[in-house]
A and B are shown apart, each in its own frame.
Chain A
Amino acid sequence: MGEVRINAKDMPYQVLNQRVRALVASGEKDIILDNVLGQRFIGDGIRGDDVTITVNGVPGGDLAMFMSGPTVIVNGNADHAPGNTMDNGKVVIHGSAGDAVAHSMRGGRVYVRDNIGYRGGINMKEYQTKRPILVVGGSARAFLGEYMAGGLVIVLGVDGVTPVSERGVGSGIHGGEIIIRGRVDPTCLGGGAEQKKLTEDEKKAIRPILEDFVRTFTIDPDPVFSAEYSKIVPASKRPFASKYTWE
């Protein structure tokens, strides 16, 4: 089957999402949504590893929420929480995204070419083979990777942008890691987070992810590969273990 296009101009989100769902159910693999402007929940709860949904325009909040398998490509910016509690699949945003990107995500990948808002990667978790990955080309605002229980957040700060310069990075992190180009000002680290230099071996391990990212957005790879990185990891697996006493 070839591609199917929907003109989303002035279409309410429920109608749009029902049509997408019906197309996926009928076996369509390549769905293109034109003139998207603020429609929420695109890809919400959709399954299908071989389905690609291309969004031309600016989707509303919770893009690809609970999604399990498909690829969503956004040619534009995205609102808050793309990849919210996403299970599997890939979200590629050719632009910036709002707050709580990849919130509680449990698998798959979210790539944001430019910047993200507050609370990126918050509460991400991993389990067995499921390891969510969020890669941001530009910068992230405060509270990046808070309460992370697993997964990987990478902020590249391409073109010399400071990846993150606000507080609360990794507060309460108890699993997973946040990898940042350069070094985070220690005053920006949250409670329970610890910063270490990324070793050459560790850098090698994330190389395939970086390669995929620069290829996706046609970014000059050399500055990305040659840069120094640091990682922010939990100071303890059990940050609250010593907080309580029994009655």
Chain B
Amino acid sequence: MSIGSTPMKYRVKIDTERCMQCKRCIENCSYGVFREEGDKIAIQSRNCVACHRCLAFCPRDAIEIEEKPGDYRSHPVWTREVRETIFNQAKTGKIVLAGMGNAQPYPIIFDRLVLDACQVTNPSIDPLREPMELRTYIGKKPSSLDLRQRDNGEVQLCTKLSPNLQIETPIMIGHMSYGAISLNAQTALAKAASRIGTFMGTGEGGLHESLYPYQSHMIVQVASGRFGVDINYLERGAAIEIKIGQGAKPGIGGHLPGDKVCADISCTRMIPEGTDAISPAPHHDIYSIEDLKQLVRGLKEATEWKKPVFVKIAAVHNSAAIAAGIARSGADAVVVDGFRGGSGATPRVFRDHVGIPVEAAVASVDAKLRQQGIRNEVSIIASGGIRESADVAKIICLGADAVYIGTSALVAMGCRVCGTCYRGTCAWGIATQKPELVARLDPEVNAVQVENLIHGWTLELAELMGAAGINSIESLRGNRDRLRGYMLDEGLMNVLDVKTVGA
């Protein structure tokens, strides 16, 4: 082979002084790094993906993983990743498939925005003492209320209200399908969402019957492949989401490889076992904004106008104009998925180069809807790269009503962001369908961890609001005065509609 082998991505070492030969590393590694050779544990470092499963289960801290042990000649343009991708494609001639979200070192806008706090002139609020209103309603709000007084003096609301989702914290769990993640992982998320009083998305993989008990906290997705979609599925969901695009792969469809379509997934997606599950790039009944309106209304008709219908788009250049179209389609919420959004499998070139950051997209969507006087017609849900409670607070200041978290929730279940989800051998039992690996994930234990995470963020959000003298999430929403840009350029500050620090 003319290219030869390339440097290892990771080097795995066992400190023999510390190792007690318990072989937990051999048992836990699903990538074949460790094997027993006589009385030694032999290591094949090239198989390592740095998922840390071995490290996490080594009782003696005897394992060390070193990233990129072999140096290339350093070069700012011809980075290691660029060179290795060329090697890969020179050998295969194929599209490079990657996992998780955008891995390019673009600046993160969230990290260049700072939040405000009260000093002297208006007092901050202590959430311990004062009630903080974090409850959020997702869906259409009437532009005006028609109140009439009856003869007996009672006031009657005559405006017909649209169905809304009530969430106890503005944090929901985004769509990760059964197929992309395991049933145990979905079950853990479903339990967590139900207990917290929030919602999770099914993704485009149907709804497994074991999740029916949690259906009142689930948003069912209708994507271009229409997997698992029938009238029962639509009726089970608390809301319905039409997925047009995804931040990790704007403009393209998805393929769940046939080898992942096991009996149970086949049943949930309603396709034969072992066949590729192909979601086409567009919905072939939506070729225009008018067609989108038709599908929104088709879903509402099917469910007797009882459920909110969301439309999810990837954050792209013209998100604002697209969202304005969605707001007029009759949809109840628009989900804006930024280019940092994760994925189990996506072409690397899309993951890293297509789409825009959620911060800019949400700010411009919110501004456009307000300009056009239709902000009340849809809620804005931000997703893609929400890593901590500060991101939640900042994106709400930029105009979002709520967020979807995906990767953060998986990390709460043990995911180490190794980005190898597409291999289907996730050692943590998350992005795999192999029964022995799935069994590693205890839905109950992991539900508590996800619940803890959202609870912790919610507490922090309440503290951040209190510090800013705000006691209701409505007063934070779109409140750009609570943000300042730090080292952001003027053009971007105009888009975000925030001032610079010091101003």
Pick the residue among B89, B274, B284 that contacts A103 (CB under 8 A): B284
Which chain B residue has the least Cβ–Cβ distance from A86? B230
B47 in the interface (beta carbon within 8 A): no
- Residues on B with C-beta less than 8 A from A62 are 285, 294, 298
- Residues on A with C-beta less than 8 A from B348 are 247
Give the size range of A's interface with the partner.
35 or more
Q: Are A127 and B270 in contact (CB under 8 A)?
A: yes
Say how far A48's CB is from chain B's closest CB, in angstroms. Answer: 11
Q: Are A45 and B95 in contact (CB under 8 A)?
A: no
B262 in the interface (beta carbon within 8 A): no
| B-facing residues in A80-108 (Cβ within 8 Å) | 80-81, 84-85, 87, 100, 103-104, 106
A237 to B303, CA, bound (A): 34
Q: Are B96 and A237 in contact (CB under 8 A)?
A: no
Pick the residue among B258, B271, B298 that contacts A125 (CB under 8 A): B271
B422 in the interface (beta carbon within 8 A): yes
Say how far A56's CB is from chain B's closest CB, in angstroms. Answer: 21
Q: Are A245 and B88 in contact (CB under 8 A)?
A: yes
| A-facing residues in B198-238 (Cβ within 8 Å) | 224-226, 229-231, 234
- Residues on B with C-beta less than 8 A from A127 are 266, 270-272
Q: Are A14 and B230 in contact (CB under 8 A)?
A: no
Q: Are A100 and B275 in contact (CB under 8 A)?
A: no
- Residues on A with C-beta less than 8 A from B234 are 45, 66
Pick the residue among B255, B270, B285 that contacts A100 (CB under 8 A): B285
Q: Are B297 and A41 in contact (CB under 8 A)?
A: yes
Q: Are A103 and B285 in contact (CB under 8 A)?
A: yes
Say how far B129's CB is from chain A's closest CB, in angstroms. Answer: 49
A187 in the interface (beta carbon within 8 A): no
Which chain B residue has the least Cβ–Cβ distance from A130? B270
Q: Are B301 and A238 in contact (CB under 8 A)?
A: no
- Residues on B with C-beta less than 8 A from A104 are 225-226, 229, 284-285
B24 in the interface (beta carbon within 8 A): no
Which chain B residue has the least Cβ–Cβ distance from A122? B284
Q: Are B275 and A237 in contact (CB under 8 A)?
A: yes
B75 in the interface (beta carbon within 8 A): no
Q: Are A244 and B258 in contact (CB under 8 A)?
A: no
- Residues on A with C-beta less than 8 A from B276 are 174, 237-241
Of the candidate stretches A145-153, A158-166, A215-223, the one touching chain B is: A145-153
B231-266 CB mask vs A (1 if < 8 Å, else 0) is: 100100000000000000000000101100000001
Say how far B309's CB is from chain A's closest CB, in angstroms. Answer: 13
B20 in the interface (beta carbon within 8 A): no
From known contacts A68-B230, A100-B285, A104-B226, infer whether A242 and B94 are also in contact, taking CB-CB under 8 Å. yes
A61 to B94, CA, bound (A): 40
Pick the residue among A13, A87, A242, A247 that contacts B231 (CB under 8 A): A87
A18 to B303, CA, bound (A): 11
From known contacts A172-B278, A172-B280, infer whether A245 and B92 are also in contact, taking CB-CB under 8 Å. yes
Give the size range of B's interface with the partner.
35 or more
B427-464 CB mask vs A (1 if < 8 Å, else 0) is: 00000000000000000000000000000000000000
Pick the residue among B226, B255, B301 that contacts A41 (CB under 8 A): B301
B409-430 CB mask vs A (1 if < 8 Å, else 0) is: 0000000000100110000000
A35 in the interface (beta carbon within 8 A): no
Q: Are B97 and A241 in contact (CB under 8 A)?
A: no
Q: Are B298 and A240 in contact (CB under 8 A)?
A: no
- Residues on A with C-beta less than 8 A from B85 are 247
Q: Are B258 and A238 in contact (CB under 8 A)?
A: yes
Which chain A residue has the least Cβ–Cβ distance from B93? A245
- Residues on B with C-beta less than 8 A from A100 are 284-285
Which chain A residue has the least Cβ–Cβ distance from B295? A62
Pick the residue among A17, A87, A119, A122 that contacts B301 (CB under 8 A): A17
B98 in the interface (beta carbon within 8 A): yes
From known contacts A65-B302, A247-B96, infer whether A106 and B230 are also in contact, taking CB-CB under 8 Å. yes
Q: Are B298 and A44 in contact (CB under 8 A)?
A: yes
Which chain B residue has the least Cβ–Cβ distance from A243? B95
A167 in the interface (beta carbon within 8 A): no
From known contacts A45-B231, A65-B302, A84-B298, infer whether A175 and B272 are also in contact, taking CB-CB under 8 Å. yes
Which chain B residue has the least Cβ–Cβ distance from A100? B285
Pick the residue among B96, B255, B284 that contacts A119 (CB under 8 A): B284
A152-187 CB mask vs B (1 if < 8 Å, else 0) is: 000000000000000000001011000000000000
Which residues of A line the B interface, CB within 8 A?
Answer: 13-14, 17-18, 21, 40-41, 44-45, 47, 61-62, 65-68, 80-81, 84-85, 87, 100, 103-104, 106, 119, 122-123, 125-127, 130, 146-147, 149-150, 172, 174-175, 237-247
Which residues of B line the A interface, CB within 8 A?
Answer: 85, 88-89, 91-92, 94-99, 224-226, 229-231, 234, 255, 257-258, 266, 270-272, 274-278, 280, 284-285, 294, 297-298, 301-305, 347-348, 419, 422-423
